[in-house]
């Protein structure tokens, strides 16, 4: 590879040993120079957090990709921290694209902000680099316990396809991340659709059972949504109802899409605008 080839930074939130990470690296290997930098352990649900307790140490890691040894690194830190450390320390030049995934489990609707996959992609976007956040629908038990039984080939197909498209295009202003969610029934021929992020949550939490207020208790969950209220142009509707691949453009601008004068009027403060 030469410096004229695009550099692709590949990372995830499931950890350096995830089969989904290997699948993502192999998917984009033909598109340029690939640098893999991932968390040393599982960080699902980390969002874009920067925990102060993370050690942030860096270790070399040998990764088997497409039958060859690919030099990689793991950082003992949350996914967004990993991206920043990769950018500041490990990249030989500015990456053309950050590819995050392939995640065990879909990241849909209002739950997307919980995702370490999405958080790492947003960190790439905050550094001015377009990013893909790729997730595959998988059984709940694999969301925090990676499994070699999951077939990532179709998800890898869409990862390569969308990565190639982004590398060859100029995304519109305010499109910083493409959030890609692939149903478990998808094939390479499955339609993909541009979607908005649903305002509904996709995973519904269960009430925790505690023996006492101070006793530890986990939060279990199951997929569930209100079909009557579900937006037909949303990521949840695309994956869960129509069973197509959802591609949602995200922005790092979290400002509400409303005229500020309208907010001022609602607050009875028209003098602001």
Is 83 part of any domain?
yes
The one-character DSSP state at 234 is: B
Is there a domain that residue 164 lies in? Answer: yes
Distance of alpha carbon 117 from alpha carbon 44, whole angstroms = 8
In a domain, residue 44? The reply is: yes
User: What is the separation of C-alpha 164 from the centre of its chain, rounded to a whole number of angstroms?
Assistant: 17
The answer to the question of residue 56 being in a domain is yes
CA distance 198 to 117: 17
pLDDT at 217: 64
Domain that holds residue 220: 7-272
In a domain, 187, yes or no: yes
Is 28 a domain residue? yes
Q: Could you tell me the CATH number of the domain that includes residue 229? A: 3.40.1210.10
Report CA-CA distances (Å) from 68 to 29, 64, 71: 11, 6, 10
The whole-angstrom separation of Cα 39 and Cα 97 is: 18
Domain assignment present for 2: no
Q: For every one of its 273 residues, what pLDDT tens digit does the chain have, with 9 covering 90 and above?
A: 567 799 999 999 999 999 999 999 999 999 999 999 999 999 999 999 998 888 889 999 988 888 888 889 999 999 999 999 999 999 999 999 999 999 999 999 999 999 999 999 999 999 999 999 999 999 999 999 999 999 999 999 999 999 999 999 999 999 999 999 999 999 999 999 999 999 999 998 888 777 677 767 667 788 999 999 999 999 999 999 999 999 999 999 999 999 999 999 999 987 877
Distance, CA of 158 to chain centre = 14
Q: Are 86 and 100 contacting, i.e. CB atoms less than 8 angstroms apart? A: no
Classified as helix, coil or strand, 87 is helix
Number of structural domains found in the chain: 1
Q: Classify residue 95: in a domain, yes or no.
A: yes
Q: Say what the pTM is.
A: 0.94
d(CA 111, CA 204): 10
């Amino acid at each position: 590879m030469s410096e004229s080839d695009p550099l692709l930074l590949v990372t995830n939130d499931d950890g350096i040993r995830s089969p989904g990470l290997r699948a993502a690296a192999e998917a984009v290997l033909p598109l340029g120079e690939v640098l893999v930098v991932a968390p040393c352990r599982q960080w699902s649900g980390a969002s874009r957090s920067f925990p102060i307790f993370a050690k942030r140490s860096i270790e070399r890691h040998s990764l088997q990709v497409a039958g060859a040894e690919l030099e990689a690194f793991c950082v003992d830190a949350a996914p967004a921290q990993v991206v920043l450390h990769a950018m500041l320390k490990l990249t030989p030049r500015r990456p053309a694209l950050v590819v995050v995934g392939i995640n065990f489990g879909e990241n849909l609707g209002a739950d997307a902000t919980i995702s370490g996959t999405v958080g790492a992609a947003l960190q790439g976007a905050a550094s001015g680099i377009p990013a893909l956040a790729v997730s595959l629908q998988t059984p709940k038990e694999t969301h925090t316990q990676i499994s070699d039984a999951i077939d990532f080939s179709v998800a890898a197909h869409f990862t390569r396809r969308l990565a190639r498209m982004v590398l060859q295009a100029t995304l519109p202003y305010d499109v910083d991340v493409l959030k890609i969610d692939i149903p478990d029934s998808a094939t390479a021929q499955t339609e993909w659709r541009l979607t908005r992020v649903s305002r509904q949550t996709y995973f519904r939490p269960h009430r925790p059972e505690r023996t006492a207020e101070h006793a530890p208790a986990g939060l279990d969950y199951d997929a569930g949504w209100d079909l009557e209220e579900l937006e037909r142009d949303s990521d949840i509707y695309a994956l869960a109802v129509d069973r197509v691949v959802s591609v949602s453009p995200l922005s790092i601008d979290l400002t509400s899409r409303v005229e500020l004068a309208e907010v001022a009027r609602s607050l009875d403060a028209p003098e602001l605008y």
